[in-house]
Structures are given as structure tokens and as C-alpha cells.
Amino acid sequence: MLYELGFRSPFKEIKVCRGIDEVIQYCEEWQEKRDSYPYEIDGMVVKVNDISLYDRLGVTSHHPRWAIAFKFKARQATTRIINVVFQVGRTGAVTPVAKLEPVEIGGVTVSSVSLINEDFIKEKDIKIGDLVLVERAGDVIPYVVKVITEARKGDEKPIQFPKNCPSCSSPLVKPPGEVVWRCININCPAQVVERIIYFASKDAMDIRGLGEAIVRRFYRLGFLKSIPDIYRLPYEKIKQLEGFGEKSVENLKKAIEDSKHRPIHRLITGLGIRYVGKVTAKTLSEHINCVEELKDWSVERLGTLPDIGYVVAKSIYDFFHNEQNIEMLHELKSLGVETCEEKEKKVEHILDSKSFVFTGTLHCCSREVAQEIVERLGGKATSSVSRKNNPSCCWRKSQLKVEKSPAVRSGNHR
């Protein structure tokens, strides 16, 4: 319908293919044709078109198995490295970034590229002044493929890695076995800004209107010196700033107010604990009612959770045993940010007044986990058969949507 109404849509390009060979042929055809297209495309989506197969194919933790993207070959170009600067990230990692003579790759002008770390520079033997082959891997992030060594004139300069943080000047450290130099000063301005940006980002607290540029600006103005400052912004002063009006300040205020009531996994993500992304944050939130409870978890106990190994467990433990972090949590809480959530409320009680007995080996999980799922859904799990057991306990997986249960979410529940 959108196509008929004149919107740009891939309606004309959609093709039903019979068998994978035809799919591959069609993808390759478009890889050739992409340059003749009026706008940039970076791949195609291949989908199973029989809806009845969707359930059988299932889903992984982040994508359905009945749809997959085919990415076109990355585009490449050669250009020269003018200079190398060093950026400090949220976790203190120092990343070398090469400034390039601007070059167009697949419709986008690339003027800088990450050189990842010191080992990468050594391995590729990259120098300032070098001509390099750059590609946009996945057509998004630029990457140095190699140095065109034949083009060297002899005046290229080696890249000197700094010994001190470019933001706060504290000495950089590189723990044995790691490849990244880090600034370990927790109050390092560059890191503080990155942490605030991350806290407000879409994956974390999702505060619209508090994007990277605004955070940097507020930081420079002294409005934002820490994460809790987000909830103490001087709106009257912000109204006076260029680019801000009554309306946009109202919107910002509302977005910030709303963020106080996000599910706690978003808050955990936003804390920026090293190695804890949104998936691990969800896992943690499933096992607690309040974020503060994590203070009492030992490394061993954290390690019993799914997909949390020693390094991650240790990092979480360390975070919750750092006074400054606990202080920040208290501050957030006193400013109205919810650190607890009611678990029961979120579950549909679809098994109310039904009782279940699990016997033998289950396909999905242990009997304990199955009992837990039933209980979370409002049912009763008993240990022996009685007249009260519900005789028909057969239902489709799709009816068993419990966001809080990893066993169900993994899609292999029967």
C-alpha cells in the first residue's frame, strides 16, 4: 500500500525465491546493481515467507531464525593518515584514532578511523603520513585494512603512544595480558563525560534530548559533573541558552522525569559496569528486586548466573564494593530514580488456579526451573499427582511469554 501511495519502499524489489540457490543468485545480482540504485543500500534481508514455519524455526536471544541479513562486500578506498589523536573512553580505555585526508567510501565521507590499540598499530606497521587502504566493514565502521608500503617516501613518522592520559594526565596502565592502555583515575573528565553519555543513551536510561552533544555542552557549562547531576539540571539557566526554548526545555525535563521509572535492568546497564551490557544487566535484574542487593552478592554467587563467568562476576563485585559507586546509587535514589521493581506485577497470571506435577527428565530445563516458571505464572507446582492437577497441560510456546524467565526466553521450552 505504501508503494502504491508513492512512498519509497522495496516493494518492486521483493522476490519470492524457490530454494537457497535462487536466494544466493538474487543477492549477488543486487550486489552488482547497487551502484545504479538511487540511494545507498548495504545488503538484503532474506526471510522465510511461510508463517507456519516461524514457530518451528524459533528465535535466538536476539534474532528470529526465519529472517537474516545478507551484507554486501565492504567498500574500500585509499587515503593518507594526517595525524593520530588519542581518545579516552567510558572505561578509561585509550584508543588511537587516525585523522585522514577525507575520502568518500560508499557515499559517506570518512575523515577518521580507529586504530583500535597499540598492538594493531604494531601489527599493521602504521605510521603518520602513510597511505592506507580503508574499508567500511559492514558499510558502517571504517577500518584500516593495510598500509600501502610501496607508497612510502621515508618521511613517515612512527606513532608515539602517550604515557599519560590525554584528558587528566594521570599515568596510563596496561595490566599484564591486556592489550589496552587505560586511565584508571575514576574522576578523569573524559571518562565522566562518556559515562554520562552512556547513562542517558538508548540502551541504558533512554533519555531523549540528552544526546552526546548536549551532554558535552552541559559538562562544559558546569551543569553536569556527574550522573546524578542529570536529575538536578538548572532548567532556568538552560532556557537562556542558545538553541533552547520553553518547549524544548519542557521536553527535556519530561524525558528526564520519565527516566526515573525505567525497569531496573536499564539502570544497571546505565551504571556502566565493565563487561555488563544490556543482556547481562537483564540477567542480573531477573534475580534481584533492588539494585542495592548486589552489594551483598559474592563473586561465587554472581558466577552461578547464566553467562556470567569469573571476570564479569569480579567486575560486578568490584563495582558494588566501591564507595563512590554506592554513594552514586544512593544519590540517584534520593533524587527519585527507582532502584527497585515489583516482580509479580509484570507476569500475566495465565496459570491461575492450575496445578502441575513434573516428572522424569524435561526437554527444556530442570524440574526446579519448570516449577519456578509455573509459579511465576500464577500456577501451583506440586510434587505428587492428585485430583487437583490440571489434566491438560499442553500449550504452545507462544502463550508462555514470560520476559523474566531465561528458560522460556531461550525458545527451547516445550
Helix (H) or strand (E) holding 21: helix 20-33
Burial class (CB within 10 angstroms; exposed 0-12, middle 13-18, buried 19+) of 54: middle
Query: Using CB under 5 A, which of the segments 4-12, 37-45, 163-171, 213-221 binds Zn ion?
Result: 163-171
Query: Using CB under 5 A, which of the segments 187-195, 318-326, 332-340, 341-349 binds Zn ion?
Result: 187-195
Site membership for Zn ion, residue 172 (CB under 5 A): no
Kindly give, in sequence order, each residue whose CB lies less than 8 Å from that of residue 190, ignoring residues fewer than 6 positions away: 87, 88, 89, 165, 166, 167, 168, 183
Q: How far is the CB of 88 from Zn ion (least distance, A)?
A: 6
The SS3 assignment for 183 reads strand
Our CB check for Zn ion shows the closer of 114 and 170 to be 170
Q: Are 269 and 276 in contact (CB under 8 A)?
A: yes
Interface with Zn ion (CB under 5 A), residue from 27, 168, 184, 402: 168
Kindly give, in sequence order, each residue whose CB lies less than 8 Å from that of residue 8, ignoring residues fewer than 6 positions away: 39
Q: SS3 breakdown of the chain: % helix, strand, coil, rounded to 5?
A: 35, 20, 45
Interface with Zn ion (CB under 5 A), residue from 44, 94, 159, 188: 188
Q: How far is the CB of 189 from Zn ion (least distance, A)?
A: 7
Distance in angstroms between the alpha carbons of the first and the last residue of the chain: 38
Our CB check for Zn ion shows the closer of 185 and 285 to be 185
The Cα–Cα gap between 165 and 190 comes to 9
Footprint of Zn ion on residues 285-344 (CB under 5 A)?
none
Q: How far is the CB of 191 from Zn ion (least distance, A)?
A: 6
Per the structure block, which three cell numbers stand in for 307? Answer: 553467562
Interface with Zn ion (CB under 5 A), residue from 132, 183, 373, 377: 183
Query: Using CB under 5 A, which of the segments 137-145, 165-173, 341-349, 358-366 binds Zn ion?
Result: 165-173
Query: Using CB under 5 A, which of the segments 14-22, 106-114, 168-176, 338-346 binds Zn ion?
Result: 168-176
Which is it for strands 355-357 and 380-382: parallel, antiparallel or unpaired?
parallel
Site membership for Zn ion, residue 402 (CB under 5 A): no
Site membership for Zn ion, residue 269 (CB under 5 A): no
Our CB check for Zn ion shows the closer of 162 and 303 to be 162
Query: Using CB under 5 A, which of the segments 121-129, 164-172, 211-219, 362-370 binds Zn ion?
Result: 164-172
Q: What is the DSSP string of 120-178?
A: HHHHHT-EET-EEEEEEETTTEEEEEEE-GGG--S--EEPPPPSB-TTT-PBEE--TT-
Our CB check for Zn ion shows the closer of 91 and 405 to be 91
Ramachandran angles phi, psi of 190, nearest 5° = -60, -40
Our CB check for Zn ion shows the closer of 14 and 173 to be 173
Our CB check for Zn ion shows the closer of 216 and 354 to be 216
Query: Using CB under 5 A, which of the segments 184-192, 201-209, 268-276, 352-360 binds Zn ion?
Result: 184-192
Our CB check for Zn ion shows the closer of 185 and 280 to be 185
Q: Which residues of this chain interact with Zn ion, rule CB under 5 A?
A: 165, 167-168, 183, 185, 188
